[in-house]
Structure 1
Amino acid sequence: MKTLPLRLMPGQDLRATLAGVLAGHGASAGFVVQGIGSLLGARLRLAGAPDATELEGDIEILTLAGSLSPDGPHLHMALADANGRVMGGHVLAGCTIRTTAEILIALLPDHRFAREPDAASGFDELVVHSHDC
């Protein structure tokens, strides 16, 4: 495992930036171990909801975690608004960095992650491949 600390800058899209991390480092599997920071707004898909929930205003990232594969990231985060109300869910495009996002990534050089259809869940789910197989 190789660790990769990142700082995202104002205006960057959180999900889009993390989607490009693997290719930029020649890796095909990774995890977001933790992330904190602030957003100008956020788009989350809440548990069981078919559509995005949009949050506006200054938002703090309390936690960020997930997996990174060449097929795209699978990220969840907990957020707090300016009044301290907390909400969490699946990270969608449209989460724009306000001041910073400080993120720790673990790259897994002996593995390749893929997202493939899963009949039980109805979603594309993580499939782990070892490079030695």
Structure 2
Amino acid sequence: MLAITLRLSPGDDLRAALDHAFRARGLSAGYVLQGIGSLSVARIRYAGRDDASELRGDLEILTLAGTLSAQGPHLHMSVSDADGRVIGGHVAPGCIVRTTAEIIVANLPGERYAREHDAATGFTELVIRAT
């Protein structure tokens, strides 16, 4: 396992920047060990919902986890607002870094992650293959 530390800057789209870093390094299977930082916009899709909700303001990233594959990231996070209320769910595009985001990504060189339709769930799910 190889760990990669990323620091995202103000204005970066969290999901797009992680996807870009994964692809730019030519990785085939990765997962986010942890992420912290702040957002000015969080777009989070809650369980059982089809569309993401948008939160704006001073938001702290409390947790960030997920898998990275050639078909894109699958990420979940929890954030707190300026009053300490916590909310979490699936990370949608459009989560904008406010001051910084510090993220540790693990690369698994012996595996390749893919996302394929799963008839049992009806969703595109993780498929793990040996390289």
Range into which the TM-score falls when normalised by the shorter chain: over 0.9
- What is the CA–CA distance in structure 2 between the aligned matches of 1:89 and 1:109, rounded to whole Å? 28
Which runs of 5 or more residues in structure 1 are unaligned?
A: none
Given the alignment of the two structures, is residue 103 of structure 1 paired with residue 87 of structure 2, yes or no? no
Give the alignment's TM-score, normalised by structure 1: 0.97
- What is the CA–CA distance in structure 2 between the aligned matches of 1:113 and 1:21, rounded to whole Å? 16
Cα deviation, 1:77-109, whole Å, max 9, x if unaligned, reads 000000100000000011000000000000111
Q: Kindly report the root-mean-square deviation, in angstroms, between the aligned alpha carbons of the 2 structures.
A: 0.6
Which moves more between the two structures, 84-93 or 21-30?
21-30
Name the counterpart of 2:46: 46
3-state SS of paired residue (2:47): coil
Given the alignment of the two structures, is residue 30 of structure 1 paired with residue 33 of structure 2, yes or no? no
3-state SS of paired residue (2:77): strand
- What is the CA–CA distance in structure 1 between the aligned matches of 2:95 and 2:22, rounded to whole Å? 19
3-state SS of paired residue (2:89): strand
Q: How many residues align?
A: 131
* 2:12 alignment partner AA: Q
Name the counterpart of 1:93: 93
3-state SS of paired residue (1:20): helix
3-state SS of paired residue (1:98): strand
Give the alignment's TM-score, normalised by structure 2: 0.98
* 1:13 alignment partner AA: D
* 2:109 alignment partner AA: P
* 2:32 alignment partner AA: V
- What is the CA–CA distance in structure 2 between the aligned matches of 1:81 and 1:89, rounded to whole Å? 15
Name the counterpart of 2:120: 120
Name the counterpart of 1:6: 6
Given the alignment of the two structures, is residue 64 of structure 1 paired with residue 64 of structure 2, yes or no? yes
- What is the CA–CA distance in structure 1 between the aligned matches of 2:50 and 2:12, rounded to whole Å? 25
* 2:26 alignment partner AA: G
